[in-house]
Amino acid sequence: MPELPEVETVRRGLAPHVEGKRIVQVRRSRKTLRRPWPRGLKAALEGARIFSLTRRAKFLLWRLSSGQTLISHLGMSGRFTVLPPEGAAAQALGEFYFQPAARRKKGPHDHLILDLQDGTRIIYTDPRRFGLFDLIATERAQEHPMLAHLGPEPLGNAFSATGLARRIAGRIAPIKTVLLDQTVVAGLGNIYVCEALFRARISPLCPAGALAPDGMARPALERLVAAIRDVLTEAIAAGGATLRDHQRVSGESGTFQQHFSVYGREGEPCERCGHPIQRMVQSGRSTFFCPVCQCEEAKARPSR
């Protein structure tokens, strides 16, 4: 499933082509996605101008002039494609990846098509149909059930070692599992948690509360927060990681997978110590780590 860097990459690719533009036609497939299409989707979108396209955790928020916000999630295999107007195929998007909208035939997995006032076409494609769309009044967008309980953005000012310490104090669950809890910090997924823990030299088995005894951040937690910020920033700069389905709106793959230190590298030598990277399963997710470099706090226990 796309994580924060992949979703942010998609947002940055889409925003210049949709913000400030009016939607003139909406077409959707009859097939449902993860949940049914919202009622009144066509009426809410057609004629509306897209004021802004932002991101919250792994969700995209399309703020519309109709007073509503369209919330979208890519699911496992969802992706957006931008088709330029006739005669504009060689613009910044690159003619290699695009045909003018008029020449592109609808594909079997295209589920939502937005035609904009300047002839640009936005296509949402999702072979597995695990993505979703929903509508909510803009003034209540942050109250939506999918957004209301999210933790702070890891690249925002609200994310800090002090704040994270308060959220994990007393928790005996492994730090790897706790960081995947979207109420603790928003947008993190399996790949980037594995990579951040490696950079911070913290065992994925370490009880979360051991990093914040009495709600106070230990040095290891300071390292972890810095590592999370760094790995996400680098991943966004690389266009995210493409392991299976993720593509930028240009059709290109992300390249951060070329820089993984531990994820997907079971049996390969650790870049720091040379010991083979190991894999284990935590809460149904594969965890990749170096048992030598990531031994700090592995046996610690949170204070009570």
Question: Per residue in 9-43, pLDDT tens?
Answer: 999 999 999 999 999 999 999 899 999 999 999 99
Per the annotation, the verdict on 100 as an active-site residue is no
Interval 167-215: pLDDT, tens: 999 999 999 999 999 999 999 999 999 999 999 999 999 999 999 988 8
Active-site residue, selected from the candidate residues 3, 8, 296, 297: 3
Beta bridge partners of 135: 70
- Average pLDDT for the chain: 88
Active-site residue, selected from the candidate residues 11, 58, 63, 248: 58
Per the annotation, the verdict on 3 as an active-site residue is yes
For 252-263, give one letter per residue: b (16+ CB within 10 A) or e. eebebbeebbbb
Active-site residue, selected from the candidate residues 12, 27, 285, 291: 285
Residues of the chain with pLDDT > 90, as a percent, come to 76
User: pTM of the predicted model, to two decimals?
Assistant: 0.87
Tell me how far apart the alpha carbons of residues 98 and 91 are, in angstroms, rounded to a whole number. 10
Collapse the DSSP code of 134 into the 3-class scheme (helix H, G, I; strand E, B; otherwise coil) and give the result: strand
CA distances 126 to 27, 63, 84, 111, Å, are 15, 22, 20, 7
Range name among 92-101, 146-155, 256-265, 267-276 with the lowest pLDDT average: 92-101
Per the annotation, the verdict on 105 as an active-site residue is no
Domains and CATH numbers, the chain: 4-143 (3.20.190.10), 161-289 (1.10.8.50)
